[in-house]
Homo-oligomer: A and B are copies of this chain.
């Protein structure tokens, strides 16, 4: 059995998979915050080009990937699927662990899968500048790279906690031609309001989104791009799962368990949705499990309710598992998982019982990350160590039970620019920032009372 399961460029999928076509029940629509009525295309047109708005609401099963996007995907796609022989051996497990590795992309994660088509559709619509938020920096890097492909400007608000702790990410964005600001910033009303209340605010994804949206809404030639959460973003990421299906078929394997980390949900959805289709079809029956940090447990401890996607309340209301739109997670190292809400699609399939979710402390995740690095030779980003930790738990359970489970996980990025987090873990340890359930529920209830007509 080889370590690498590769696809030729000619085998790369040429359509994205839209899970909306196969869901037993449709997910609740986004609502206009002023009226409480379903938001129409016109409510999104100030921020997004029409092809992306159409993808957001489409129920077509397959959506063709444009040729220019495929040409850029070919720089790193199809991405490799690896069998973790050496990790399995170190664990002494009969389980077979596969990881789909997205760290080969220009940004070092799965994010360019959607950055490239978003830049493409915007350029086609005559847009010359995109604004966005970024947490750990993967998304900002991806959009900077994507904009460089289409000769567009890219302006990025990065959560200050990550901006300060991960300076290399900003350098990479600038190398790809992006312009970067720490958030909250003095450049927007949303930022200035936060800074007036808390000059030392560490920021959050919700705040950074407010800033980027505010700037885009003011300029007709500027649009906004979101790196996770929305339907069209998860759509673009399904190329991960489609490739993984082809790759596992090449070696005759069917997964028993699929684990992915969840922040906004795009990496998880990208891997899981094609397999969920097969599960709904009855062709396979994997357990599909989301893994989130204990410090930001939107699926396992949040409420399923309409809430804003951002902190300032500029976005449509989304029905999702949320910790409240003004929840600011503790500064755990997995910056990409520090988001108060969860993708409406992921939230919906979780409510429908089609997927499971667990929350894990970051110390356990780093331990798995170090073991993975020393056996498989790849230092994982802190985000996917959450999925790796769960894979390790399951593999050790198989060691006890003797089960030969096939475990598939998404290694959604490398940790080259997250090495200070590993250094902190190895030298002084990390705080798990777990939240007491009662404290969290009180905070969430408080946050959602700001949305009276939806209560």
Contact surface of A with B, Cβ cutoff 8 Å: 2-4, 6, 8-10, 74-76, 86, 104-106, 108, 112, 145, 148-149, 168, 171-172, 174-177, 370, 373-374, 376-379, 414, 416-417, 419-420, 422-423, 426
Among B6, B148, B168, B376, which residue has its beta carbon within 8 angstroms of that of A6?
B6
Residues of B within 8 A of A104 (CB): 104
11 A-B pairs within 8 Å (CB atoms) are namely A3-B74, A3-B75, A4-B9, A75-B376, A75-B377, A106-B377, A171-B422, A172-B419, A174-B426, A175-B419, A176-B373
A373 pairs with B175, CB closer than 8 A: yes
A74 pairs with B4, CB closer than 8 A: yes
Among B74, B377, B379, which residue has its beta carbon within 8 angstroms of that of A105?
B377
If A3-B9, A3-B74, A422-B171 touch, whether A416 touches B377 (CB-CB below 8 Å) is no
- Say how far A420's CB is from chain B's closest CB, in angstroms: 6
Residues of B within 8 A of A374 (CB): 145, 148, 175-177
Residues of B within 8 A of A376 (CB): 75
Residues of B within 8 A of A9 (CB): 2-4
> What separation, in Å, do the CA atoms of A175 and B382 have in the docked complex?
13
> What separation, in Å, do the CA atoms of A175 and B168 have in the docked complex?
18
A106 pairs with B168, CB closer than 8 A: no
A416 pairs with B378, CB closer than 8 A: no
> What separation, in Å, do the CA atoms of A2 and B8 have in the docked complex?
9
If A2-B74, A4-B9, A9-B4 touch, whether A175 touches B370 (CB-CB below 8 Å) is yes
- Say how far A377's CB is from chain B's closest CB, in angstroms: 3
Residues of B within 8 A of A108 (CB): 416
- Say how far A371's CB is from chain B's closest CB, in angstroms: 10
B420 pairs with A171, CB closer than 8 A: yes
Residues of B within 8 A of A145 (CB): 374, 377
